[in-house]
Amino acid sequence: MDLLNTLVDKGLRREPLSRAEALAVLGTSDDDLLDVVAAAGKVRRHWFGRRVKLNYLVNLKSGLCPEDCSYCSQRLGSTAGILKYTWLKPDEASKAAAAGLAGGAKRVCLVASGRGPTDRDVDRVAGTIKAIKEENEGVEVCACLGLLSDGQAERLREAGADAYNHNLNTSESTYGEITTTHTYADRVDTVQKAHAAGLSACSGLIAGMGETDEDLVDVVFSLRELDPDSVPVNFLIPFEGTPLAKEWNLTPQRCLRILAMVRFVCPDVEVRIAGGREVHLRTMQPLALHLANSIFLGDYLTSEGQAGKADLEMIADAGFEVEGADQVTLPEHRASAGGCGSHESAGCGAHEGGGCGSHESGGGCGSHEGGGVCGSAASTATSSSTAAPQAGEARTDLVAVRRRGAGTDLAPNA
């Protein structure tokens, strides 16, 4: 296909795509899907080899958010039966982080629900960052605390944070339909504050909220203009008790096309499969590793994810390898520019694998509620005696509220 040859050539040269080319990727047929994956995979391997970066989420404060983001289980008015608790103490957060690091994660993503941190909250998070770094040499830490006020990004940087996550989530033209308590411009401002403070910026999107192909291209082109080091791609988890609970618009094939489009538009950026991969990609998750070079390990913020052991087996079986703590995530030209993928970038060990790039985070209106469950409680909802699901069927059986890890007395999934 001439289009794919053109896109590969552009990706290897870091040459920008046109909007028409990006839309054409989303418009390819299922018959051409493997060709699309193979083409985008060439770009992924050129810049990132066969490495997969693992990131681990720690939900520092869950639920009771005053923002009304329609996709989030922690939103104002949500009736989802999620865990609700106030700030974890630094030693509790450090203990939770240790589980993910033991499982192979190289970045810990500290998330807190809410509009944005107070100065006292920044002090709390600073203490948590110190506790984690004292116990784990070389660990990367990303914060996702919502909208930042002046000076807060600098304080987080001084405290040892390597990166900051704040997702755009959807296109500017449709943002007001998803959230009314803050604006798209507020989100852009926070990403720019993180950049200006020397933090590695992480910002992504949520697919599956009823948006058009044009909306998806709009938000990805906006992200390219912001130039974050990493772009988390979330797939909406239609959580019961939220306004988008009935939005089951994604198929595994569409998810792969979206990831391929993001890879072509942002060829040398860390693309992370974030919330919802287990729910929407399902058995096609290994194919997505040919497009993205980063995932979350284990559970998400308010929902369960695939078992950590299954994540590691999937990576190995697909012919990929877990990125080591001594490896730089970003390509040399980005790392040398000070991106958090460079060991030289003032405390940034590699790039922000995760932040709370998960849509579930609700984390300070930072992202969305990842879900999924292979290996979790929800996976028991089906058995060999259950009829096979039909194509396009809503898989509510694959959404399970997190009941272990941070905020509980049970061991985490990592």
The single-letter DSSP state of residue 281 is: I
Q: List, for residues 87-128, the tens digit of each pLDDT value.
A: 999 999 999 999 999 999 999 999 998 999 999 999 999 999
The reported pLDDT for the residue numbered 388 is 65
Using CA atoms, how far apart are residues 25 and 8, in angstroms rounded to an integer? Answer: 12
410: left (phi over 0), alpha (psi -120 to 50) or beta: beta
Using CA atoms, how far apart are residues 74 and 35, in angstroms rounded to an integer? Answer: 39
- Average pLDDT score over residue span 162-168: 97
The answer, yes or no, to whether residue 354 has pLDDT greater than 80, is: no
10 Å Cβ neighbour count for 79? 11
Q: Which helix (H) or strand (E) holds 157?
A: helix 152-158
pLDDT bin (cut points 50, 70, 90) of residue 378 is very low
Phi, psi of 233 (to 5 degrees): -110, 110
Query: Measuring CA to CA, which residue among 334, 355, 338, 106 is closest to residue 232?
Result: 355
The answer, yes or no, to whether residue 368 has pLDDT greater than 50, is: no
The answer, yes or no, to whether residue 372 has pLDDT greater than 80, is: no
Using CA atoms, how far apart are residues 309 and 296, in angstroms rounded to an integer? Answer: 12
The reported pLDDT for the residue numbered 360 is 58
Which are the contacts of 177, defined by CB distance < 8 A and separation ≥ 6? none
Q: List, for residues 185-198, the tens digit of each pLDDT value.
A: 999 999 999 999 99
In angstroms, the first-to-last Cα distance of the chain is 41
Residue 340 contacts residue 352 (beta carbons within 8 Å): yes
- The chain-wide mean pLDDT, for the chain, equals 88
Encoded amino acid at 55, one letter:
N
The answer, yes or no, to whether residue 406 has pLDDT greater than 50, is: yes
* Domains of the chain and any CATH numbers: 2-365 (3.20.20.70)
Catalytic residues: 65, 69, 72, 109, 142, 202, 272
The answer, yes or no, to whether residue 373 has pLDDT greater than 90, is: no
Of residues 77 and 269, which shows the higher confidence score?
269
Q: List, for residues 270-310, the tens digit of each pLDDT value.
A: 999 999 999 999 999 999 999 999 999 988 887 788 999 99
The reported pLDDT for the residue numbered 361 is 45
Which pTM was predicted?
A: 0.89
The reported pLDDT for the residue numbered 356 is 47
The reported pLDDT for the residue numbered 369 is 44
Using CA atoms, how far apart are residues 286 and 66, in angstroms rounded to an integer? Answer: 37
Using CA atoms, how far apart are residues 143 and 297, in angstroms rounded to an integer? Answer: 17
- Average pLDDT score over residue span 310-315: 97
